[in-house]
Structure 1
């Protein structure tokens, strides 16, 4: 969380808040395996209240369905940790909070819960803006705390690239 990503020793979350403030745009988050850590990182930055609408911690499938309008069929067909679900999570939170950008994360933080197809550390991250949603899977390993940190930082880095218009 303390890694240098900007100028003058700025953290990644400080860079993102600065970029959002400069563009007068808003962010929302839908978090599962990160449990609110992305929202915590953003709100640790002074001025975040002017660009961060909030987040939904949708840890259960029921919360994903009820709070983010993820279709039950999507979860049944692809599983909670999938491209399709994080894309629906991102679109759901962006619509619900009327923001310009959204991040969604769903993964298997560990140490248990993995399968052969989706081992512990498997994480899907989506970033949405008004025009598109991008999603990518990552395999971070079997340490719960590190998975939460890596998922959060990777999601913020993906958002930064989307805001800058860089390809992902």
Structure 2
């Protein structure tokens, strides 16, 4: 359980003042979830900031396999602005659930299967500038890690 807090500016911040922190070489999947909604290759730099409240857990089936579940709740750090009705956008951006199954196959090979769910909040439309986004986005991936142990004499 933890949080990552990245400062940001509000929509009404004076021109020329930027209090945003942008992780140039971030730890994208350590915090911020696996779906890369924020910072990684996006327009989120020098923006409203990001708060990532997360809970991570791993269940070990046996010595060779486990299931990791990461829950993230995302909010903006700065005020996002006003909608067409003059109402403030909520700072809540969305919730992400990441599931990763890991299986060791022999001494040097590990296979991973991951699936992520992003449940977008209403403010995500404004932040991402997408008029009619789906409230649920999903992503599945497979990874194979081969890590031989070479010993030099």
Shorter-chain TM-score bucket reads: 0.3 to 0.5
Q: Which has the larger radius of gyration?
A: 2
Higher strand share: 2
Q: Which has the higher helix share?
A: 1
Q: What is the TM-score when the length of structure 1 is the normalising length? A: 0.30
So what's the TM-score if we normalise by structure 2?
A: 0.32
